[in-house]
Structure 1
Amino acid sequence: MTHRASAESSPSRPDSPFPTVANTDIHRVRETIITWFDSAARPLPWRDADTSAWAILVSEIMSQQTPVARVEPRWREWMQKWPTPADLAQAPTAEVLQRWDRLGYPRRALRLQEAARVIAEELDGQVPQTAEELERLPGIGSYTAAAVASFAHGERTTVLDTNVRRVLIRLFAGRDRPSASPGRAETQWAGQFVPEADHMKWNAGVMEFGALVCTAKNPRCQTCPLKDLCAWQKAGRPASANRPKTQKWAGTDRQLRGAVMDVLKSAHTEAGTEFRDSVAIDLFTAPTTTIDPDLLDTIGLRTSAALQTMRDLTADSDRIKRIINALVVDGLAAQQKERLSLPQ
């Protein structure tokens, strides 16, 4: 397999964090990663040749900050339930949030449904083909737009997720990890590695390489086919001066938001029996000793268990009210007088 070395490589400024890379090294890295990907790629369902552009878009949104192992079962369920943008556009929002399950950051589900409505109602059901057009959809940023344009439509784009950035920064800049987010200079610098041919394999391959070999923790340097070229390896694998900020979960508002959402999802699941799919706000906020027993009769066993889990997290009713108000503002919950439910 032969890949033409890019002519886009240009000298970097002396103070640039992105060094000049020789075309021979660019060619070597392309060849190595594309060949590695041909044999090592995970058989992810959205990589199948007959996967629709819509299905690829869904996979990219679901995969943001979420491990693939958690994404795959939800993706399969979604594509069976809503195989086209029109299907998701017409779905009840409550069901969309419920089927998002525990993927996290549920506002992604709302933005995805908004994008589906635009595609269905304004674009004749067709997912845009270029990165520029994709970025006009609700909730679609530059990374997602570039990835979908590449993997769904074969556009030559520079796909820069955390894995790709880490591989390139280690190989050529000798740093453990990239900055928090890519700027224009990094995007332009990374563009030189994208070949004219096989750019889809490159984009998918270098991403996979970062996920399986050049990992954030415990990278497999001893078996890496590029270790002799890697500037980070040659420098002794120095740790980054700026350690990444880890997102706490226990005790945070994010945890409490998730617990409130679990209550609403449970109530929605039990709707259709003798239970209603809304929950009295007093059940969230009132002290246990003052709760009207009749209110408890309006919810089912699963909802009651989810409610107890939420209440175990905090007894601060003001905090819970603030969380509820934020969920309503974000469109993740709906309040009807003194009751709360998933939005319909």
Structure 2
Amino acid sequence: MASLLIDWYEANGRDIAWRHPGTSPWGVLLSEVMSQQTPVVRVEPAWIAWMDRWPTPAALASASNADVLRAWDRLGYPRRALRLKECAQAIVEGYGGEVPCDVDALLALPGIGDYTARAVAAFAFGLRVPVVDTNVRRVYARLMKGQLLPGPARRQDLADVAALLPERRAPEFSVAIMELGALVCTTKPACSSCPLIDVCSWQRAGRPEPAAHEIAAAKKRVQKFEGTDRQVRGKIMRLLREAHSPVPLAQIDAVWEDAAQRSRALFSLVEDGLAVQVGEQHFALPD
């Protein structure tokens, strides 16, 4: 199975900038943080720009918060940009500017969770550790459990995927199974293009449909965006990013009609360190 999957990936995997030989561990870490809940097509140009501007943890650690937030643009969840800067500072202070390879050391860095720590360990340092994201969980559910939908994430997922890792070329297997989930074994699977169709438990079971409660649970896990505080925060952040001086409150008032929601979103940005109040009636990005 591993050989089939790796061979398929080598013939069909996307040519993405951070997969090129010579990408530094910092470049891998940056790509993984940027790619969280954001399509690769949006991440790749931003990643290239960031690597040109801040090619090392030390370079990002010395940047201003305002520059970091402007460069993050609309990648989503701008708090991640500031956490990334904090991560760079921790790498400089604790590891001499070199990204650590140990999973536990990576997990101790600001903003680095289970998935990112293992992805960096595997893809930057070649370690044999399980890397589990939404795509991998979906492939595993169909391939090994015979289920169309993967269900909620569990700690057991790491052990399940670890059991599939080959002794050799484990990182290649990990990126291949992720790519299979991104390109073929999607929410609407293209099974005729799958290299594992003959060993897939879901295929062997006759492609059973999920139960009604499984469908309802999957729909509930999908986060809506339209009309949420997240959308309002995004509109305000865009206004602040594009401004070259503090933005008057009256200009912020124009981005959203609901005054209570707008005020809640604005001051949540201030609480999160993504905006600062300047005087009584102006707001700006933090220094």
- Secondary structure (helix, strand or coil) at the match of 1:343 reads coil
1:342 aligns with 2:271: no
Determine if the alignment matches structure 1 residue 318 to structure 2 residue 260. Answer: yes
The gaps in structure 2 that reach 5 residues or longer are none
- Which residue pairs with 1:262 in the alignment? 238
* CA–CA separation in structure 2 for the residues paired with 1:124 and 1:207: 32
TM-score of the pair, normalised by structure 2: 0.94
SS at 2:227 equivalent: coil
1:189 and 2:160 aligned: yes
Q: Secondary structure at the match of 1:228?
A: helix
- For residue 164 of structure 1, report the CA deviation from its aligned partner: 1.1
Over alpha carbons, which structure has the higher Rg? Answer: 1
1:232 to 196, 202, 217: 202
Which of 239, 248, 273 is 1:280 aligned to?
Answer: 248
Secondary structure of the structure 2 residue equivalent to 1:46: helix
Equivalences for residues 89-168 of structure 1 within 5 A: 89-168=61-140
One-letter amino acid of the structure 1 residue matched with residue 262 of structure 2: I
Structure 1 CA distance, aligned partners of 2:252 and 2:32? 34
Contact 1:171 1:229 in 2 (8 A): yes
Note the alpha carbon deviations across 1:306-328, whole angstroms, 9 max, x for none.
xx4x1xx32x2222111111101
Maintained 8 Å contact 1:55/1:79: yes
Checking the alignment, whether the CA contact within 8 Å between 2:141 and 2:150 is kept in structure 1 is yes
Please tell me the residue identity of whatever aligns with 1:319.
Q
**Cα distance in 2, alignment partners of residues 318 and 214 from structure 1:** 43
Structure 2: how far apart are the matches of 1:136 and 1:188?
21
1:295 is aligned to none
Extract unaligned runs of 5+ from structure 1.
1-28, 272-276, 286-307
Deviation per residue, 1:92-138 (Å, 9 max, x gap): 11111111111111111111111001111221001011111100000
Matches within 5 A, 1:5-84: 29-84=1-56
- Partner secondary structure for residue 199 of structure 2: coil
Q: Is the 8 A contact 2:132 2:157 kept in 1?
A: no
Q: Distance in 2 between matches of 1:78 and 1:182?
A: 33
User: For the residues of structure 2 that align with 1:240 and 1:328, how far apart are their CA atoms?
Assistant: 43
SS in 2 for 1:335: strand
2: CA distance between counterparts of 1:43 and 1:336?
A: 45
TM-score (norm 1): 0.79
Question: In the superposition, relative to structure 1, how do residues 238 and 331 fare at CA in structure 2: closer, same or farther (>3 Å)?
Answer: farther
Tell me if 1:219 matches 2:162: no
List 4+ stretches of structure 1 deviating above 6 A: none
Q: State the secondary structure of the residue aligned to 1:340.
A: strand
Is the Cα–Cα contact under 8 Å of residues 60 and 88 in structure 2 kept in the other structure?
A: yes
Task: String of CA shifts for 1:23-69, please: whole Å, max 9, x gaps.
Answer: xxxxxx21110111121111111111100000100000000111100
Q: CA RMSD for the aligned pairs?
A: 1.3
- Richer in helix (by share): 2
The worse-fitting range, judged by mean Cα deviation, of 186-195 and 199-208 is 186-195
Contact 1:130 1:155 in 2 (8 A): no
Tell me, in whole angstroms, the C-alpha distance in 2 between the residues paired with 1:66 and 1:151. 19
Percentage of pairs with the same residue: 47
8 Å contact kept, 1:327–1:333 = yes
Shift of 1:261: 0.5
Alignment of 1:288-327 (within 5 A): 308=254, 310=255, 313-314=256-257, 316-327=258-269
Question: Which sits farther off after the overlay, 169-178 or 135-144?
Answer: 169-178
- 1:290-337: CA deviation from partner (whole Å, max 9, x where unpaired): xxxxxxxxxxxxxxxxxx4x1xx32x2222111111101111111123
